[in-house]
Structure 1
Amino acid sequence: MTLIRTTRFTADPADADTVLERRSNLLAAVRAAFTGPTETRLIRLDERTWVDMWRWDSPETLQAALAGAPSLPEAAAAFAVARDVSAEQGELVDEDGWTR
């Protein structure tokens, strides 16, 4: 079962480059320590608001990452610039990819 974990947060617009750099570092650290995520997407909704979507191939891989990732220094660094953080996850029930 594929799961999508979505994290919504705000950050100071002056920290946009820092958000991108620290997210990249966090993603590399998570992938080195755990099996996944298999795909990610970062969406900037406006100057301050971001949505980060990470795809996981199973509940077990997601749970392992959720249990272990908070101890990663890269997680602390990434979330140091994030405010108003909320997260949710759900089962992917349908998707469509269009190739031209």
Structure 2
Amino acid sequence: MTAVRSHRYSVADADLEEFLARRRSLVTAIRKGHPGLTRVALIRLDDGTYTDTWYWERAEQLAAALAAISTFAEAPPAMALTKDATAQNGRVVDEH
């Protein structure tokens, strides 16, 4: 069953391009070590915040990547450009 990790945060408009570059670098690094990451989607909401959802083949792969997050040097620089970050894990129960 597909597992997801969904983040919500804000990014200053002036930092957006740099954030996107850092985020792409982080996604690439995580995919190298954790091939279960199938898709990522960053959505700007009407209130100016973002949801960033990462899709995994299985919950175990998500858990392994989270356990290894401190080994990814790309994570702190990317997240340094965010503010008011929250995260939740879940599983897809219906998809069309």
TM, length-normalised to structure 1: 0.89
RMSD of aligned C-alpha atoms? 1.3
Runs of 4+ more than 2 Å apart:
none
Which ranges in structure 2 are unaligned for 5 or more consecutive residues?
none
> What secondary structure, in the 3-state scheme, does the structure 2 residue paired with 1:42 have?
strand
Flag the structure with higher strand content: 2
Q: Tell me the matched-pair count.
A: 96
Give the whole-Å Cα distance in 1 for the aligned partners of 2:87 and 2:76.
16
Give the whole-Å Cα distance in 1 for the aligned partners of 2:65 and 2:16.
25
> What secondary structure, in the 3-state scheme, does the structure 1 residue paired with 2:66 have?
helix
Deviation of residue 48 (structure 1)?
4.1
> What secondary structure, in the 3-state scheme, does the structure 1 residue paired with 2:94 have?
coil
Which ranges in structure 1 are unaligned for 5 or more consecutive residues?
none
- CA deviations on 1:44-98 (whole Å, 9 max, x unpaired) are 11474111011011111000100112321100111110111100011101111xx
Quick one: percent identity of the two aligned structures? 41
Answer whether contact 2:5 2:88 (CA < 8 A) is retained: yes
1:81 aligns with 2:81: yes
